[in-house]
Structure 1
Amino acid sequence: MSLRTVILLISCLLGTNLAMDCREVPGKLKQIDAGLGQVFGVNENDRVYTLYGGSWTQLPGALKHVTVGPSGVWGVNKNNQIYKLVGGGWVQVGGSMKQVDAGGHQFVVGVNMTNNVYCMGRYASVRYRGPGSPAPWNMLPGHLMYYSCGPNGCWGVNSAQDIYMRKWVTPAACEDNTDWQLISGKLAMIEVGTDGSVYGVDAVGDVYRRDGITAANPAGIDWIYESPCTKSKHVSYDAGHLWVITKDNRILDCVV
């Protein structure tokens, strides 16, 4: 355990301000995603919400996972059917996924129930408008249970909670450059912000941030422990705010 980790843990116990500056947001969610100034989430009943004017607005439909990014708003339902938000309504996309991510540079990625990894390039993802639009999913080598992309690369975790990343994934050919780099550490989920920031949650609910990420070194240097002073299960970062879902589905907005 690093000295910084010890200091943060003591800060939480004493209630000092050395830990992250977090405020609880009204409502309960099981999953949240933030990008391009927008925040979306789903609750335990698969109701879909977006944060608008400081309060949650319910959207039509039912999803177990939702994502927002440069290629739009996407989600999957309890039957692993894929949807994209088009003109205020959800249109179904061909394929089957348990988790999708729209944080790449206008391309979409996801994993299915057998942990196969897929991506859809920029041309198809941005222009998808419903049945009749092309929806070519390209399968990548390897297996992951969670996959997320940003401007400098893509990150994922497998069923053993090993962490992998792919550098310099191009939006037009997101299936290319398929060499996976093993990253030290263990995480249960991982999210890449639209600015390239990488955050994750481990099996016990601790939050970590990848330090040292640059365009020249997209894998970064090390994991930095972050403390919202509660155990977490899901995080998403955008525009200086880390959105945290706690183990009991409370929502925290942490300024980082």
Structure 2
Amino acid sequence: MKVCQCILLLFSHLFLYTLAWNCEVIPGTLKQIDAGLGIVGGVNNDNEVFLFLGTSFERIGLSAKHFTVGPAGELGANSTNNVVKFVDGSFKLIPGVQFKQVDAGGDQIIVGVSPVDDVFCLNKDNNNVGPSSDAPWIQLAGKLKYYSCGPLSCWGVNSAGNVLIRRFVTGAACGGSNVFEAVAGALSMVEVATDGNVFGIDPQGNLVQRFGVSPSNPAGTGWQGIVVCPNGHKHVTYDLGRLWVICSDGSIRRCT
């Protein structure tokens, strides 16, 4: 009897957690999405970039394989790994770096991953100067295929699917603690929201959220599964209480 009660209690908890998200389908298809400071952008399979404007995604005049928005600005990495940033009304090339993935979610710092999985960051003051060939990019020891920052820490995933966190990252010290610490679990991508929430997609296409994240414990205490897409999940981002999910078939869900 006690065993049955425990199973029912566990099932009820998971069921209620799923119901906590009220999701709707947004027209269009994307392969990658990012949100920050109320702006939502994404990229489709043709590397066309879109911004969510009011009720739908509208194409803008930029081609990129990865697009990011946040406190550090609006940036894209294109098919040849060149990086551009929106400055003074247009996207301008950032000379001297090549990234396959870039993130703008930290305290006005830019972080990026090179085609060979090297990891770089640029401090707040240097980012705010604008694109420059002599910008002092800092290479972080280690290899990652995906890297994302928030206000409390930065999180990354390497080619083996291992999850890593870098603590004490600030606008003036984008290298933070100078070490990547392992976090239990396996992911194919991870995103840190501007409020510190952490979401990811595992290699099987499951969507997860890190719970227990706080200023005193930015690594959190465990992962909680969320079901938004019936056929699996591809990409995720979170901003201002809204969870944006790209399903395995490219369809888009917005959840509150």
| Contact kept in structure 2, 1:124 and 1:134, CA below 8 Å | no
Greater mean deviation of Cα atoms: 114-123 or 173-182:
173-182
CA distance in structure 2 between the partners assigned to 1:3 and 1:67 by the alignment? 41
Deviation at 1:20, TM superposition (A): 2.8
| Contact kept in structure 1, 2:18 and 2:226, CA below 8 Å | no
Partner residue, 2:124:
122
CA distance in structure 1 between the partners assigned to 2:18 and 2:185 by the alignment? 27
Change (3 A) 1:31 1:125: same
CA distance in structure 2 between the partners assigned to 1:5 and 1:227 by the alignment? 16
Change (3 A) 1:133 1:112: closer
Deviation at 1:7, TM superposition (A): 5.4
Mapped pair 1:146 → 2:149:
no
Deviation at 1:70, TM superposition (A): 0.4
Partner residue, 2:215:
215
| Contact kept in structure 1, 2:112 and 2:120, CA below 8 Å | yes
The alignment covers a number of residue pairs equal to 248
Q: TM-score if structure 1 supplies the norm length?
A: 0.91
Change (3 A) 1:17 1:208: closer
Deviation at 1:136, TM superposition (A): 2.3
CA distance in structure 1 between the partners assigned to 2:109 and 2:18 by the alignment? 39
Query: What SS does structure 2 have at the residue aligned with 1:218?
Result: coil
CA distance in structure 2 between the partners assigned to 1:208 and 1:39 by the alignment? 20
| Contact kept in structure 2, 1:19 and 1:226, CA below 8 Å | no
Query: What SS does structure 2 have at the residue aligned with 1:184?
Result: strand
Query: What SS does structure 2 have at the residue aligned with 1:125?
Result: helix
Can you list the C-alpha shifts for 1:158-191, whole angstroms capped at 9, x where unaligned?
A: 1110100011112112124212111000000000
Deviation at 1:18, TM superposition (A): 2.5
Greater mean deviation of Cα atoms: 16-25 or 217-226:
16-25
Query: What SS does structure 1 have at the residue aligned with 2:102?
Result: strand
Query: What SS does structure 2 have at the residue aligned with 1:204?
Result: coil
Q: What one-letter code is carried by the residue in structure 2 that aligns with 1:150?
A: G
| Contact kept in structure 2, 1:19 and 1:229, CA below 8 Å | no
CA distance in structure 2 between the partners assigned to 1:140 and 1:68 by the alignment? 22
CA distance in structure 2 between the partners assigned to 1:114 and 1:140 by the alignment? 13
| Contact kept in structure 2, 1:146 and 1:189, CA below 8 Å | yes
Unaligned runs of 5+ in 1: none
Partner residue, 1:25:
26
CA distance in structure 1 between the partners assigned to 2:9 and 2:83 by the alignment? 41
**Over 3 Å off, 4+ runs:** 2-11
Mapped pair 1:156 → 2:132:
no
Deviation at 1:58, TM superposition (A): 1.6
Change (3 A) 1:246 1:86: same
Partner residue, 2:165:
165
Q: What is the root-mean-square deviation of aligned Cα atoms in Å? A: 2.1
Partner residue, 1:108:
110
| Contact kept in structure 1, 2:167 and 2:176, CA below 8 Å | no
Change (3 A) 1:78 1:27: same
CA distance in structure 2 between the partners assigned to 1:159 and 1:178 by the alignment? 20
Q: What one-letter code is carried by the residue in structure 1 that aligns with 2:203?
A: A
Q: What one-letter code is carried by the residue in structure 2 that aligns with 1:236?
A: T
Can you list the C-alpha shifts for 1:27-69, whole angstroms capped at 9, x where unaligned?
A: 1111100000110011111111111122222211200100001
Mapped pair 1:237 → 2:214:
no
Q: What one-letter code is carried by the residue in structure 2 that aligns with 1:166?
A: R
Deviation at 1:125, TM superposition (A): 1.3
Query: What SS does structure 1 have at the residue aligned with 2:127?
Result: helix
